[in-house]
Structure 1
Amino acid sequence: MTTHSKYFYPAAKHLRCDEVIHIGKNCWESTIWNFTGTILSCVKFVLPLALIPIIMKIRNLNKDVFMQSFRIFVDFFFGAWLVSGLGLSSICLFRRICGVFYYYTVLAVPAGLGAFISSWIISERAKHHYAHGLSTVAFQVSITRGDFYIFKLLRNSRLAITIAFMALNATLMHGLRENHTGRFYWLTQPLKSKTEYHEFYEESAVMDKISPIVRSQIKCCAHEDSCDTFIFNGIKKFFKFGVGLEIARHLIYNYSRILRNPLIIFNVFFKQLNWNLVLFLVGYVGVYRFIYCWRSRRNIYLCEETSKKDNQLASLMSGLVFYLYPDQSIFSHTVITIIEIYWTHYYEQIKTFLKWIPLEKINMIHVVFPLVFGYVTHIRTFYPYLAPAIQKKLMHLSTNYKDAAIFTAYHKFLFGLTPQFLL
């Protein structure tokens, strides 16, 4: 970043808004377009995400499922549209206030301001999902460009990132098990020890052969169904979830192609789906549930400490499946989720330790959301080779490709390049 910042001001001090931000328009016309020209593209951006509940429950569709999908669409659309419009319009604002383009007032600060204002207006669900997603991208960029030895090891060694994921997964699942203050979304929720022992038993043909229980009249696990059903239902659910995610991803990447030629949908969905992701999801939940049931059957009367250890063992071993799909975005998502869980769990201790900061008066989402959005937007423009492909595509859709136009104009004026290969 030092090289860019050093030479940016001399090269950009004479640039005007209409040379790089809104060529052929004045600032007011550009502002109107920022809020009108992005409506359809934001619909394209959000629609695949809103369809996931329908895909997940395709065999049990009802009014509630469609209403859930519609609410997701409205919340996420309004959030993407407002953040995009305010962020793009703030570029001209800072150009007029400062008189020139500075390195960080080109996109980072305007994007952060747009996110900050939006965080007070959009729904809780939308801003938390966007903040979480952007934080994941920011951490992924840190892995990609970080000079620390641990970052180099994580991006260059499949074994190292798998071992790290195993440890993180055990930490995360322990935090989920201990959490009583909030709802955190993870691939699966940990089981807890039984509070009562039911004097009946539901047959599990497979698990009975692998690990027969001593007293056949005792229900050994905390889940409601038989062990076979519990494991199979998890595998089936995450198979559908994985396929749904892949369909949503391909809809985002191939939206225009599918509209031009709907028949291509079969080629996109059935030949290009990333089955390694689906295999990871299925294997992860399958291994976790199998090991936990197997351990529960070995000691029917689980005490709390034994149950915690079984949860940690099952979490650790299920992390091995990451070797099949060592994706940095999943790894980064794990890290960010751990931070969220333990921040909530130890909030009172943190507040006491940082007593010079009035944390009770600060909603951290109003701090995190602008910071990470400004950071990833800055990276997208000046270090596009570090930005994940999905981030580029989502920014294209949420801004109706205005980000690509700005990106191209800056690089053309500053470096004499038209970097189409980085768009």
Structure 2
Amino acid sequence: MTVISKFQSVPTTCIEYVHPWTDSCWNGSAGLLIVSSLDSFRIYTLVYVLSLLMRGRIPKSKDIARTVLGILQSTAFLTTSAVAYSSYLCMLRRVFGGFTMLTGSYVPAFLSSVTAILIERPSRRVLLCLYVANVASESLWKMAESRGMVRSIWRGQTIIFGVSTATLLYYFRRGWHLNKKDSVYDVLRFIVGKDEEGGNRVEKVEDKKRSKRLLQRYMITSWILKVYNQLVIFLKSFSKHDKCKHSDSCAYYVFNGGAKLFGIGLGIQGILKLVLQIPKIVKTPKKVLSSIFSKDTMRIGAFLGGFSFVYRLTACFLRRTFNDDKPEYAIPSTLLASIAFLSYPDKTAALYIMWKSLQLTTEMLTDKGYLPRVPYATVFVYSIFTAVLFHAATFEPQNLRTSYWKFLHGLSGGRIAVMDRRSFDVWGLNTQAQIMKTIEITKTPVDIKYSFGRW
């Protein structure tokens, strides 16, 4: 097959490509409106209800009302994104008489994303932007790798995680985070400890009570508690350097942080395994312990505990060696501690930390006047990356994260899998073959049942 330029138009109609199940653009959009609104409502009902329950208190009437309004607004946002994408495809085909590589997915996806994100609450836009940037950056890397432009390195996600976390912990040690409230700093405070924090943060009484409860929660038996108390007395007998902010010895500070985070990580993974494997456990109760204390269950605990242990150990070592406490010590401490990420090398987590550090760095430089403040920057960044994802789903889905393909498949009622892309093979990406391979791998059905006649 002759390969043509990506900017050359393919004279395919929207009936052949966008909605081959109906010869009406209006019917195609109407059918998509029905299925996408139902799927969006299902997704956001689950998200908002879980968020409400995680607050740990009985919701008041205003909380329930806010939750309902949030569900409806977010449902409208996601539904608009799906329906507008299909509509813009048909509109652009009418204007240009066919599809190019850009108008075949990227441009309509960008326009639909701008239209949709303006409906969503401003407080949720940054979170959505970080999510699509995370998934899209992975797709962009895979696209470049498939073209021989880049090459992945072993454990590259650990390097990304280490550098990005070192940036955030440097801000944390400098106290710059106090002017920019963000939940990621709460997580870092929890992992490395409040004594590593810079600035003048006033600790709340609730914080002290919470740290004590976390320690007591994992002392299951009296025997373990006695052994633990003896170990605590032994560790506290060592010295503490004058430059260290923690109250007890450095040895106790280091081992206590590692043990506490290991226990929490083990507990989280163990509970998740129990919940997900209830049917198997009911049939074979003897496998409960082997399921909880497997090597796989230890991974999160090893990462959290190892990170806290190595970070605190390195920080105390540097303070003792140089008889000083500098924010810059956070950088080598974090880079060494990031070795623990090898036990749980999650690409999603690494990319999230990378984009979060870029976001907070950009905001800080903007606040200080080093960068101009761009109106609706979040809207455009979100739209650019969402368009990348729709482009990948259309032309090269094997470079798209499997979970995102399944999300688009559900949102479109399976329509994304039956859009006819055979005419796009002239651009040399083997699009139709990629689609068939993706459908096979993800086990997403193509036998779509259209509601309301041919909608």
Same fold, TM exceeding 0.5?
yes
1:209 alignment partner, one of 213, 226, 234:
234
TM superposition shift of 1:376: 1.4
TM-score, length-normalised on structure 2? 0.67
- Per-residue Cα deviation, 1:216-275 (whole angstroms, up to 9, x for no partner): 9xx95389xx96886666455555666798999x9xxxxxxxxxxx969989xx9999x8
Q: Using the alignment, how far apart are the partners of 1:246 and 1:230 within structure 2?
A: 24
Q: Larger C-alpha radius of gyration, 1 or 2?
A: 2
Q: Which residue of 1 aligns with 2:305?
A: 286
TM alignment of 1:9-408, pairs within 5 A: 9=8, 12-13=10-11, 15-22=12-19, 23-46=21-44, 49-50=47-48, 53=51, 60=56, 62-63=58-59, 73-74=71-72, 76-146=74-144, 151-152=150-151, 155-158=152-155, 160-177=156-173, 178-186=176-184, 188-190=187-189, 191-193=196-198, 205=229, 206=231, 209-210=234-235, 212=237, 214=239, 220-221=245-246, 234-235=261-262, 238=265, 279-291=298-310, 306=325, 308-309=327-328, 311-348=330-367, 352=370, 359-406=372-419
> Quick one: structure 1 residues 347 and 237, their matched pair in 2 at CA, closer, same or farther if it must change by over 3 Å?
farther
TM superposition shift of 1:131: 1.3
Q: Using the alignment, how far apart are the partners of 1:370 and 1:300 within structure 2?
A: 46
TM superposition shift of 1:327: 3.0
> Quick one: structure 1 residues 134 and 417, their matched pair in 2 at CA, closer, same or farther if it must change by over 3 Å?
closer
TM superposition shift of 1:398: 2.4
TM superposition shift of 1:133: 1.0
TM superposition shift of 1:136: 0.8
Q: Using the alignment, how far apart are the partners of 1:127 and 1:196 within structure 2?
A: 28
Q: Using the alignment, how far apart are the partners of 1:72 and 1:220 within structure 2?
A: 43
Percent of residue pairs bearing the same amino acid type: 13
Q: Using the alignment, how far apart are the partners of 1:289 and 1:231 within structure 2?
A: 5
Q: Using the alignment, how far apart are the partners of 1:237 and 1:54 within structure 2?
A: 23
Cα contact 2:158–2:341 (8 A) shared by 1: yes
Which range is displaced more, 76-85 or 365-374? Answer: 76-85
Cα contact 1:90–1:114 (8 A) shared by 2: yes
Q: Using the alignment, how far apart are the partners of 2:128 and 2:236 within structure 1?
A: 44
Q: Using the alignment, how far apart are the partners of 2:279 and 2:112 within structure 1?
A: 39
Counterpart code for 1:38: S
TM superposition shift of 1:308: 2.5
Say what the alpha-carbon RMSD is for the aligned residues: 4.8
> Quick one: structure 1 residues 96 and 104, their matched pair in 2 at CA, closer, same or farther if it must change by over 3 Å?
same
TM superposition shift of 1:215: 7.2
Question: How many residues are paired up?
Answer: 385
Cα contact 1:51–1:69 (8 A) shared by 2: yes
Cα contact 1:280–1:324 (8 A) shared by 2: yes
1:422 alignment partner, one of 438, 448, 452:
438
TM superposition shift of 1:88: 2.3
Counterpart code for 2:14: C
Q: Which residue of 1 aligns with 2:218?
A: none
Counterpart code for 1:173: L
TM superposition shift of 1:80: 2.1
Cα contact 1:112–1:370 (8 A) shared by 2: yes
Three-state SS of the structure 1 residue aligned to 2:99 is coil
TM superposition shift of 1:339: 0.9
> Quick one: structure 1 residues 335 and 79, their matched pair in 2 at CA, closer, same or farther if it must change by over 3 Å?
same
